[in-house]
Structure 1
């Protein structure tokens, strides 16, 4: 069992630049400021025309709510605001996040997108700032929107969840990325809350994948049938045709073999 709300430091994974590249200025502050200004410019456009919506359509200045209308861009940009020290933008984002109701949306929640954008954004912000509301909202969205996706006969996640009823949406077709890219955030949530169920649920997916026979170890098809948990089309033929084409051409073309 994880200790309650551990305050462990995450491993440093950024590239450690031991020496500056020859010819570049030794003072990198102006370059960092240019990056910061680029973010502020983009964020002003979102703030002026689409704040609170998921996305700004930059050509028309219209809004898009393709991620349930909870303000996906705010959650996506939250850690960047913290890293850049943009207090005004951060404080406004904080007020928005406090008011989000995960059960209000006109469309089902896509499990994959909700996990990487909303839950991932909240966890990243919490690791940087330790603002309690970020962890509270992370637990909320996990319990109300993400974990219900696993309420299926074989405990494999549904692609969509009805946020009003809290029930998975019927439909057995899902891509490998959609059900195979959930464990990172769920493991981190377990570490921060002491609730092992998130990690157990996320890792169950990988355990199930590992039991599926694969012609090439580690390579799996893109589309899966979650009812029977068997591979479908859209990916396997690609690898198959690379080798078959090489054989058909009697080895005269090496590109297919190299890619295979």
Structure 2
């Protein structure tokens, strides 16, 4: 089942974010007709491939895992003038990069196909993390729901409201990024948001 979806995406949609299953074409933000808020998960950064990296490793397909990582390193960039969901970008892109980095690092001494890996995904994750940080610059510490990957919150006309899940589930990826890079700011920002939610909870 995984390969049915993965192969279809790679053959028909990559490097777009998603495969449109009926037309067998790629979905690009700002190019393909919009679906409204559903498209906030898209950032023209090969979302499906990054989101699939760790599954390739878990399935033991190390040759494809290695090939996919090389594609991400070569083709994916975050310097886009595009508004994205902070939550979706955190759990799918940041989480995908970090999990693949940890797996590749742990496997590189055992798997010949991964011996070339030298932390490139972590560097990409840190770049993305820095681009998400301005969303946390609020009076409460609870992050805005959306951010422009290139310009941050400057000139944002979109709604700045967010949901409880979007505000309170940043800690896993942000803490992992802090601990892997040695920069505490990501974990601190996510922890502040979580603490704020706890303090204003319904009693």
User: TM-score, length-normalised on structure 2?
Assistant: 0.80
Residue 142 of structure 2 corresponds to which residue in structure 1?
Answer: 156
Residue 162 of structure 2 corresponds to which residue in structure 1?
Answer: 174
1:52–1:96 Cα contact (<8 Å) kept: no
Q: Distance in 1 between matches of 2:130 and 2:197?
A: 24
Structure 1: where are the runs of 5+ without partners?
A: 1-37, 216-260
Q: How far is 1:40 from its partner?
A: 2.1
Q: How far is 1:110 from its partner?
A: 0.9
1:49–1:62 Cα contact (<8 Å) kept: yes
CA RMSD after TM alignment: 1.7
Q: Does 1:84 align with 2:59?
A: yes
Q: Distance in 2 between matches of 1:95 and 1:109?
A: 24
Q: Distance in 2 between matches of 1:128 and 1:213?
A: 36
SS at the partner of 2:144?
coil
Structure 2: where are the runs of 5+ without partners?
A: 29-38, 106-116
Q: Does 1:188 align with 2:171?
A: no
Residue 8 of structure 2 corresponds to which residue in structure 1?
Answer: 45
User: TM-score, length-normalised on structure 1?
Assistant: 0.63
Map Cα deviations across residues 188-230 of structure 1 (whole Å, 9 max, x no partner): 1111111111111110011111111414xxxxxxxxxxxxxxx
Q: Distance in 1 between matches of 2:62 and 2:103?
A: 14
Q: How far is 1:176 from its partner?
A: 0.9
Residue 90 of structure 2 corresponds to which residue in structure 1?
Answer: 115
SS at the partner of 2:19?
strand
1:159–1:174 Cα contact (<8 Å) kept: yes
Q: Distance in 2 between matches of 1:213 and 1:69?
A: 36
Largest Rg, 1 or 2: 1
Residue 78 of structure 2 corresponds to which residue in structure 1?
Answer: 102
2:167–2:194 Cα contact (<8 Å) kept: no
Judged with a 3 Å threshold, the aligned counterparts in structure 2 of structure 1 residues 121 and 213 are, in CA distance, closer, same or farther, namely: closer
1:98–1:133 Cα contact (<8 Å) kept: yes
Q: Distance in 1 between matches of 2:179 and 2:150?
A: 28
Map Cα deviations across residues 221-252 of structure 1 (whole Å, 9 max, x no partner): xxxxxxxxxxxxxxxxxxxxxxxxxxxxxxxx
